[in-house]
Amino acid sequence: MSKKLKGVLRQIAIQLFLLLVTAMVLFPILWVVSLALDPRDIDKPLELRLIPPGASLQSFRKVLFEPFNLLCRDPSNPATCMKFGGLLRNSLLVALGTSLLAVVLGSTAAYAFSRFRFIGRQAGMLFFIVMIMLPTTGLLAPLYVLLSQIRIGSEPLRASLFGLVVAYSSGFLPFAIWNLKGYFDTVPKELEEAALIDGASVTGTFVKIILPLSVPALAVTVLNSFMTGWTEFILAWTFLDNPSRFTLAMALRSMQGQFATPWSEFAAMSILMSLPIVILFFLLQRYIVSGLTIGGVKG
Amino acid sequence: MFKKLGALLVALLVLSVALAACSSGPAPTGNITLWHSWKESEIPALNEVIAAFQAKYPEVTFDVLYVPFDDLRGKYETAVATGGGPTVLIGAADWGPALYDAELIADVSDLAKSGFLKTINAAALGAVQYKDALIGLPQTIKGVVMFRNKQIVPTAPATLDDLLKLHSAAPKGDVYNTDLEAGFFFSAAHLNGIGGKLMEANGDPAFSSAKGVEWAQMLATFGKTGLGEYYTDNDVNLFKAGKAGIIIDGSWNMTGLAEAIGAANLAIDPWPTTSGGHLSGYVQTENIYLSANALDAAETAGWAFMEFFLGKDAQTTLVKAGHIPAIAGVEVADPLMEQTVKAFERGTAFPVIPEMGAYWESMDNALKSILNEGADPAATLKTASDNITAKIKEIRAGQ
């Protein structure tokens, strides 16, 4: 067998393997799209057809414009039921709040762990690694008790969207600190020293030198923390009591009935819910994959 | 004149004291928080019951919260354990014993009058009697039944042989006569139906027997001779698409199936007879519980609502939501519901004891081995029985 033929066969094998991987990745997505278009409310397509018989956008219309009749402040009054817009607003508040808190607290804490020497530094980092391994639901009971003790006006912090942001951030921060600290360690100290010689303060150096150079790590933190706040529903369903504060993830969960699920609407809602994550990923993509510190010292 | 007025005042005083003595206690007031996981189609009936209660007791307000079924128990346990939570919970029957052992629901035996309890279906009442306590009230009955599409299978199979004959017949194109579910929850009651039993009254396993082997072999036949399922929704999907004539599923899916194939085409048949008895399905209740944190006025209001919920008017209203009444004397006009009630006559009471928790995993593994891998039924059931006995010991040690 000639060398050229071997190369062609190798290329064909690689392409076939990649096609198989692509099919495996795309199949569940196409399945969900097919279910969303299927008006029969079945949990899986009965035949391999992307466009099911009687396909319609009815489920998207229902999810987007009709009230969620299970999520009402007063079930006897449909006007008090949540709609997609209200749920989207709450989800954005929670996800963006979680991202903001994770980036602000995570980056400052990570910088301290990266640059300063203090008692308990090593133990602190080890503690964060242990905390990363704990599932958020494992912290459910202590968080519930703690956030119930703090009251804003007449109601506990636990029952507010801010309480949810605090709970999510507390679960995500160990990863954010660990991840950002690792990145800050790779930023050359000479850059900071040059800034300090030029008269910048430590805070100024952190804000003007370190943070701009750490955009890739910050982008990862923003994306992951946003996804945490956007998709989590177990803590949310345990903490919140007022439907006007419910999120999209909670609404999606509420569609999953004990005995029956409106699969078309469930699939349509899943597709709609994934769009902001996809958009955010595309916005942050170039930061996530790029290495901004290359050439930062010389040249 | 003054004498007459005085006598009138005394008479009024005596009358008011007598009326107060005759009344059942203070009228309910305050707020009732109700948590449930009902379907959207059941909400109008729930609203109607609440409105009727409020018409009777205008001083009572409601906060009603839907929580998905899989999150409801966890949310309730967390909230009540920390001093909060709802006044009243509508939840599964098998939550009751664990919630009561954890002191999260109240024993309402002191609140319930015997006359009131006599109106409740005796079997359903058994689902809320635990350790000499009344841990709630059964608000509806539901269970596993056999659904039939009359257009595909015009006549109900009267015997197991009839059913298996339909089952083994070749499909007409992509339309099957039957798609039979053998998942443990859906098939365990057949064992009682044919004269065996899953467990003793105290929860100890009793299925490792000749009847147990007969039961396992029968389930294996379902998969070997025709289309069979083990905890999948394929049967429901095919039935909804008009491609399966008979399936075994829960009465809770009655509305969805009727909508899919047309109520006129749907039948719920009595379980077919066998040589030693008949096939069967688990019959269970859904209960309404009073929170352990509901004290004083909240207890009065919560219990008043629970009693009202089990009243004839409320139960009649709930029939509209597809709920099979838990009390006697409620008219059920819907033919499908009538057929369901009839099918429940050959049903088996679902065991509502903590020991049941020891059965699920071991029985699932045993049935899968027998049905999918052809394992020896007698030996497999014996192993499962031993595993369950060990798990039950752990459960009892933890109580």
| Two tokens, residue A103 | 């980036």
Q: What is the pLDDT of residue B9?
A: 56
Contact with chain B for residue A78, Cβ under 8 A: no
pLDDT at residue B366 above 70?
A: yes
- The per-residue pLDDT for B11 is 59
Q: With 50 as the cut, is the pLDDT of residue B19 above it?
A: no
CATH of B25-141+284-344, one of 1.10.10.10, 1.10.357.10, 3.30.70.2860, 3.40.190.10: 3.40.190.10
Q: Is the pLDDT of residue A165 over 50?
A: yes
| A62 occurs within a structural domain | no
Contact of A71 with chain B, judged by CB distance below 8 Å, is answered with yes
Instruction: Give the residue from B70, B73, B231, B248 with the most A CB atoms within 10 Å of its CB, the best one to mutate.
Output: B70
* A216 and A270 share one domain: yes
Q: Give a yes or no: residue A294 inside a domain.
A: no
Instruction: Place A291 in a pLDDT band, splitting at 50, 70 and 90.
Output: very low
* pLDDT tens digit sequence for B228-244: 888 888 899 899 999 99
pLDDT at B333: 82
Residue A43: predicted pLDDT? 67
Q: Are residues A144 and A214 in the same domain?
A: yes
* Interface contact A150, partner B, CB < 8 A: no
Query: What phi and psi, each to the nearest 5 degrees, are found at residue A62?
Result: -65, -45
By Cβ distance, the residue of B51, B71, B233 closest to A43 is B233
Query: A258 and A133: one domain?
Result: yes
φ, ψ of residue A263 in degrees (nearest 5)? -60, -35
CB atoms within 10 A of CB B231: 13
ipTM: 0.84
Mean pLDDT of B143-148: 95
Residues A274 and A185 in one domain: yes
At residue B23, does pLDDT exceed 70?
A: no
Are A78 and A51 contained in the same domain?
no
Using a CB–CB cutoff of 8 Å, tell me whether B276 touches chain A. no
Q: Specify the domain boundaries for CATH 3.40.190.10 within chain B.
A: 25-141+284-344, 143-283+347-398
CB count, 10 Å around CB of A162?
A: 14
Report how far residue B304's alpha carbon sits from residue A11's, in angstroms, rounded to the nearest whole number.
76
Per-residue pLDDT at B341: 86
The pLDDT assigned to A58 comes to 93
CATH class of the structural domain B143-283+347-398: alpha beta
A190 and A42, same domain (yes or no):
no
> Could you tell me if A83 and A223 lie in one domain?
yes
What pLDDT was estimated at residue A51? 85
Same domain, A145 and A234: yes
Q: Give me the mean pLDDT over the B73-99 stretch.
A: 94
Tell me whether residue A98 is in a domain: yes
Mean pLDDT score of chain B, rounded to an integer?
Answer: 90
Secondary structure in 3-state letters for chain B = CHHHHHHHHHHHHHHHHHHHHHCCCCCCCEEEEEEECCCHHHHHHHHHHHHHHHHHCCCEEEEEEECCHHHHHHHHHHHHHCCCCCCEEEEEHHHHHHHHHCCCECCCCCCCCHHHHHCECHHHHHCCEECCEECCEEEEEEEEEEEEECCCCCCCCCEHHHHHHHHHCCCECCEEEEEEECCHHHHHHHHHHCCCCCECCCCCECCCCHHHHHHHHHHHHHHHHCCEECCCCHHHHHHHCCCEEEEEEEHHHHHHHHHHHCHHHEEEECCCEECCEECCCEEEEEEEEEECCCCCHHHHHHHHHHHHHCCHHHHHHHHCCCCEECECCCCCCCHHHHHHHHHHCCCEECCCCHHHHHCHHHHHHHHHHHHHHCCCHHHHHHHHHHHHHHHHHHHHHHC
Residues A83 and A16 in one domain: no
% of chain A at pLDDT higher than 70: 94
Picking from A18, A33, A56, the residue at the C-terminal end of a domain is: A56
- Interface check B37 vs A, CB under 8 A: yes
Q: Are residues A282 and A180 in the same domain?
A: yes
Number of domains in chain A: 2
pLDDT at B18 over 80: no
Q: Å from A69 to nearest chain B CA?
A: 6
Comparing CA positions, the residue from B44, B90, B27 lying closest to residue B309 is B90
* Cβ under 8 Å to B: A residues 35-54: 40-44, 46
Asked whether residue A142 is assigned to any structural domain, the reply reads yes
> What CATH number is given to the structural domain containing A164?
1.10.3720.10
- Return the top range by mean pLDDT from A41-45, A150-154, A155-159: A155-159
Chain B residues with CB under 8 Å of A234 CB are 71, 74
Q: Write down the mean pLDDT value for chain A.
A: 89
What are B308-320's pLDDT values in tens digits? 999 999 999 999 8
CA angle B253, B258, B259 (to 5 degrees): 100
- Any CB–CB contact under 8 A between B102 and chain A? no
Question: What is the average per-residue pLDDT within B141-152?
Answer: 95
CA angle B242, B234, B154 (to 5 degrees): 35
B70 and A145 in contact by Cβ < 8 A?
no
pLDDT per residue as tens digits for the range A85-140: 999 999 999 999 999 999 999 999 999 999 998 998 889 888 888 888 887 778 88
Residue B114 above 90 pLDDT?
Answer: no
Residue written as tokens 């599923």?
B249
Range of the domain at A255: 71-289
